[in-house]
């Protein structure tokens, strides 16, 4: 069910990546608008947000920014869309810092534009506290994604690089609730990564994990892009 918290929350979709790994199958499009089951992939994320009650979404764009804006326009269903274009590649955290003047809620809901994860967003808000809450999803093998380790209370205790450990575990699902103070602390004007530069430095300062067992997929590689076609049909 939609909640008042989500209705008043600004959501951000990170949609500026180069999509280098996907160029062999999607050579001419920004990957977030690549067709999946007959329509741009980003529509799946916007539908998820609209169903949850979100009414404002900021698109952080970079590579082929005009293509994203032309595809989406100024609204999707009941969501108002705004755009924050990067003057140069800024990374996931740098893009958020660049968009800060448009982000008028605390916390801000952030989604990676090239992945989809089913999650109970109202429940995510209920448990959120501290600077950041990351949605995590259990998978059979964390080799390709890296691993997020946390204790019984949900407090994150470590991030392990992809390729370092194989076998089952929890991965970063690409959905976050981020407090405004954290966003303001991101250095402005340069390329900064949430995953490499920001989250690891917040371990021990209230970084939390929220577990989901909903469907998870990304479209970042030709194989995963092909699987996504079947999922959304």
Can you read off the two tokens belonging to residue 96? 């958020």
Max CA distance (Å), the chain: 45
How many residues in the chain? 233
- Nearest-angstrom CA–CA distance, 19 and 4: 35
> Which of the following is catalytic: 23, 74, 126, 162?
162
The reply to whether 126 belongs to the active site is no
**What DSSP string runs through 49-60?**
HHHHT--EEEEE
Q: Which of 26, 18, 172 is nearest to 86 (CA)?
A: 18
- Nearest-angstrom CA–CA distance, 28 and 203: 39
Question: Hey, which residues are catalytic here?
Answer: 162
């Amino acid at each position: 069910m939609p909640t008042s918290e989500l209705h008043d929350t600004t959501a951000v979709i990170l949609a500026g990546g180069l999509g280098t790994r996907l160029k062999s199958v999607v050579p001419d499009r920004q990957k977030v608008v690549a067709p999946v089951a007959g329509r741009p992939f980003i529509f799946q994320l916007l539908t998820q947000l609209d169903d949850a009650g979100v009414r404002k979404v900021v698109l952080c764009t970079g590579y082929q920014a005009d293509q994203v804006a032309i595809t989406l326009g100024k609204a999707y269903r009941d969501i108002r869309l705004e755009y924050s274009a990067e003057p140069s590649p800024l990374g996931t955290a740098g893009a958020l810092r660049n968009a800060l003047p448009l982000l008028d809620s605390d916390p801000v809901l952030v989604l990676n534009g090239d992945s989809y994860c089913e999650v109970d967003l109202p429940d995510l808000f209920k448990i959120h506290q501290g600077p950041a809450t990351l949605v995590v999803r259990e998978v059979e093998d964390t080799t390709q994604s890296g691993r997020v380790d946390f204790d019984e209370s949900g407090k994150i205790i470590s991030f392990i690089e992809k390729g370092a450990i194989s076998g089952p575990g929890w991965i970063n699902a690409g959905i976050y609730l981020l407090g405004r103070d954290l966003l303001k602390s991101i250095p402005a004007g340069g390329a900064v990564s949430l995953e490499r530069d920001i989250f690891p430095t917040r371990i021990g300062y209230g970084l939390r994990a929220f577990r989901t067992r909903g469907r998870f997929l990304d479209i970042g590689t030709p194989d995963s892009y092909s699987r996504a076609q079947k999922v959304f049909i």
